[in-house]
Amino acid sequence: MNSSTDNQRSSNRSLTGRLLLMTAAMFAFGFLLVPLYDVFCEVTGFGGRTSSRADVVAEAPDLTRTVRIEFVTTVNAYAPWTFAADVDSMTVHPGKMYFTSFTAQNMTGNDKVAQAVSSVAPTAAADHFKKIECFCFTSQEFAANEKRAMPLQFIVDPALPDYIDTMTLSYTFFDTTGLPANDEL
């Protein structure tokens, strides 16, 4: 009876150790999932994500062609912000550099931090939208009730397929106050 109790305790310890190890592995996987997904999206262009690298287009602008860029903004649910594009759309020539801006305001009496996440539609156009400067590259720190313009500088690659004449650049603004900064993930 004593040896079966010892066997049962040994079996329980072994099971507990395996369960703790599995829990730690699941936590580590969950923690690494966001950075792994970001790398996957950047490499594959999945989800309409644009490249955060500003590959400067070496070709001359195509002044015979125009592409309409539509700007769409959303604020994550319950986030205490206003966020909008300063213009709804632009007509651009591929290969030429353009500037626009977005305006955001912290609607609280507390300091806040936000992060914008972008996507481009159609997905086939995502690799051809090159952001040179973008507020979405880093977290944005806002003082209480602060309102400010945030710049976007971009080029549409002349290699954009001819059948694409309209692109939609969409930004979602998230309240990331209290979360680790981008470089800490």
Whether domain 48-177 has CATH 2.60.370.10: yes
pTM listed for this prediction: 0.66
d(CA 182, CA 5): 52
Q: What is the pLDDT of residues 39-97, one digit of tens each?
A: 555 555 554 455 444 445 456 888 899 999 999 999 977 788 899 999 999 999 999 99
Question: Is residue 30 predicted with pLDDT exceeding 90?
Answer: no
**Assigned token pair, 130:** 């090159």
Q: What is the pLDDT of residue 40?
A: 58
**Assigned token pair, 19:** 């369960």
Q: What is the pLDDT of residue 14?
A: 84
Q: What is the pLDDT of residue 58?
A: 52
Q: How far is CA 152 from the centre of its chain?
A: 14
Q: Residue 171: how many CB atoms within 10 A of its CB?
A: 23
Query: Apex CA 96: angle with CA 182 and CA 173, to 5°?
Result: 30
